Copies of this chain bind each other. A is one copy, B any other.
Amino acid sequence: MEFRKRPGGRSARVRDAVRQATLAELVERGYTGLTVDNVAERSGVHKTTVYRRWGSVEGLISDALELARDEPWPIPDTGSVESDLRGIVQLVRTGFDDPELGPVSSAFVAAAMQDPAAARALHDFFAARHEQSAEVVRRAIERGELPDVVDPNEVIRVAVAPVYYRLFVAHEPVSEDDADRAADAALAAARAGVL
């Protein structure tokens, strides 16, 4: 007895084809240009099947989001919190600049704003990201660089928030200096013991 289908089965092939097509379409046309019909055609899967298993464009994105959540990302470990934090914020910034990652990541944020399921998926995604990133703060506390009263996750949030704010709320450009400044600000607040 088994509780999971074979990885090479038809369903698995369909799932992979649709996921790959979704990402490719997102890169080419962005979130506003993403349609179930296009994904179906590109993947070679019939559109009724896509509707039955994913339900909607937001469902496709939620699915991609769950995949992205489990992928670990390269947390820096330079020896100092300052450069670690800067590294993380720059990673966020350059991620949205990237011609492949950018449209996909932006789509995640956009979709979550319109669909509760996508919002939950994005919430979990960021919870995982925060947990991973907070490691640089925990290390800093161990090294005595920061007081042990600080909340590591909160430091991460405050560090990356200005980048997201500029990109998705105020719609201002984000320079390398802007990102560094955001990281430095979070660090200064942490040192002052307010985070």
| Residue positions of A touching B, CB distance < 8 A | 31-32, 106, 109-110, 112-114, 119-120, 122-123, 126-127, 130, 154, 157-158, 160-162, 164-166, 168-172, 181-182, 184-186, 188-189, 191-192, 194-195
Q: How far is the CB of A78 from chain B (nearest CB, A)?
A: 19
> Is B126 touching A169 in the complex (CB atoms < 8 A)?
yes
Q: How far is the CB of A130 from chain B (nearest CB, A)?
A: 8
> Is A157 touching B168 in the complex (CB atoms < 8 A)?
no
Which of B154, B162, B195 contacts A157, CB < 8 Å?
B162
Q: Looking across the interface, which residue of chain B has its beta carbon closest to that of A157?
A: B162
> What are 16 A-B contacts defined by CB distance under 8 Å?
A109-B168, A109-B169, A112-B169, A113-B113, A123-B170, A123-B172, A126-B172, A157-B166, A157-B170, A158-B158, A158-B185, A161-B164, A164-B165, A165-B165, A185-B186, A188-B189
B-side contacts of A182, CB under 8 Å: 158, 161
> Is B110 touching A114 in the complex (CB atoms < 8 A)?
yes
> Is A160 touching B171 in the complex (CB atoms < 8 A)?
no
Q: How far is the CB of A10 from chain B (nearest CB, A)?
A: 34
B-side contacts of A186, CB under 8 Å: 185, 189
The CB with the most chain B CB atoms within 10 A, among A170, A184, A188, is that of A170
Extra inter-chain contacts (13) besides given A109-B113, A188-B192, CB under 8 Å? A110-B114, A120-B171, A122-B171, A123-B170, A126-B169, A154-B181, A157-B166, A161-B169, A168-B168, A184-B189, A185-B186, A185-B189, A186-B189
Q: How far is the CB of A191 from chain B (nearest CB, A)?
A: 8
> Is B112 touching A113 in the complex (CB atoms < 8 A)?
no
> Is A113 touching B168 in the complex (CB atoms < 8 A)?
yes
B-side contacts of A172, CB under 8 Å: 123, 126
Q: Looking across the interface, which residue of chain B has its beta carbon closest to that of A106?
A: B113
B-side contacts of A126, CB under 8 Å: 169-172
